[in-house]
Amino acid sequence: MSNLGGGLRSVDWASTKLEHFEKNFYIEDKRVAALSDREVEEFRRTKEIKVQGRNVPRPVMSFDQVGFPEYLMSSIRAQGFDTPTPIQCQAWPMALTGRDVVAIAQTGSGKTISFALPAMLHINAQPLLAPGDGPIALVLAPTRELAVQIQQECTKFGSNSRIRNTAIYGGAPKGPQIRDLQRGVEIVIATPGRLIDMLETQKTNLRRITYLVMDEADRMLDMGFEPQIRKIVSQIRPDRQTLMFSATWPKDVQKLANDFLRDMIQVNIGSMELTANHNIQQIVEVCSDFEKRNKLIKHLDQISAENAKVLIFVATKRVADDITKYLRQDGWPALAIHGDKEQRERDWVLGEFKAGRSPILIATDVASRGLGTSYFIF
């Protein structure tokens, strides 16, 4: 072993005896197997699904073709979903084979349960956690907000099988997070910095990780997390299953995938560039700074008649606070969210916005992915 700096030691995996673990759970449904190649091609074309790699499994077209056990199917039914999204149709068979997977899809496309449901199956096939064991599945995410959203999905779908999870992120007290880790959790959803802190202080370990997810990989690299990601992955056994989800596929994300994934198979939905969602109407108005506030009020007057939620993105924390103050003085129910606010306040603001009690949210890029809303004003 050699020291990685800051208390973490690199692991000599070549001379470490690794226990065998199961990771292939996929049995192709007879209805999927019976499809002709042309039918598969046509389905992928209509759903804008493109695949690459060796022996990519065929997509499924309905939930009952995946082969999920009843404890997951009942959770899916309880959520009221009709049909899988395109990313789910293709990513579920890929993930359930135990292969390393790259998935490129827009935010809001249903990608969280694309990796969360296979994680549940994977976990339930492994031996139970023993005292002192770390988690079996690790999801790395760039921001606290995304980590909390992923945790909510894991809680929804993990409750029937008693799979425990915790979210580990900065800006919140360490005590409850440490207690969760020490009690034992099968899934950890973490931002890289806080996870390294927990590893260096030996509050958890990654020796049992056999299912690793990197969510919003492009954003993690944009935020400068590559050294932390590499440090974390060095602590995880090399024969794990690794899944990388990203909205775009730039060269630095490709390099990360080539370094960490073996014999990978890839799916992308739509374009591999970061493009505008075609389901969103976009109106661009060019105006001077002097005109901005009057135009904003004019838009809010129009939108308020439709009882819609409004998300206003700004570049800086100061501008977020300035616009919030300006709108509130004018009688608009606006709240702001940015990196200087305590996590508890950020959670409360998001809750008020989602519930519609405060339908105008002014945000910096902490909220730039994963929030569904009716209107976007930039």
Three-state SS at 242 = strand
Q: Is 62:83 a contact under the CB 8 Å cutoff?
A: yes
Considering only CA atoms, which of 174, 157, 192 is closest in space to residue 63? 157
Cα angle for residues 153, 360, 152 (degrees, 5° grid): 10
Q: Examine the pLDDT at 368 and tell me if it is beyond 80.
A: no
pLDDT tens sequence across 226-238: 999 999 999 999 9
* Percentage of residues of the chain with pLDDT beyond 90: 57
CB atoms within 10 A of CB 80: 6
Which structural domains are found in the chain, ordered by start? 30-269 (3.40.50.300), 290-367 (3.40.50.300)
More confident residue, 261 or 172: 261
pLDDT confidence of residue 263 = 93
User: What mean pLDDT do residues 254-276 have?
Assistant: 84
pLDDT confidence of residue 330 = 80
Contacts 24+ apart (CB under 8 A), 5-9: 6/196, 6/200, 7/200, 7/201, 8/196, 8/199, 8/200, 8/231, 8/235
Q: Regarding beta strands 49-52 and 265-269, do their DSSP bridges make them parallel or antiparallel, or are they unpaired?
A: antiparallel
Phi then psi for residue 328, to 5 deg, are -65, -35
26 Cβ contact partners less than 8 Å away, ≥ 6 residues apart: 57, 67, 93, 96, 97, 98
Largest Cα–Cα distance of the chain, in whole Å?
67
| Identity of the highest mean pLDDT range in 19-28, 328-337, 361-370 | 19-28
pLDDT tens sequence across 74-118: 888 888 888 999 999 999 999 999 999 999 998 778 899 999 999
pTM score above 0.85: no
- Assign 195 a pLDDT band (cuts: 50, 70, 90): very high
- Assign 347 a pLDDT band (cuts: 50, 70, 90): confident
- Assign 372 a pLDDT band (cuts: 50, 70, 90): very low
* Percentage of residues of the chain with pLDDT beyond 70: 91
pLDDT confidence of residue 339 = 72
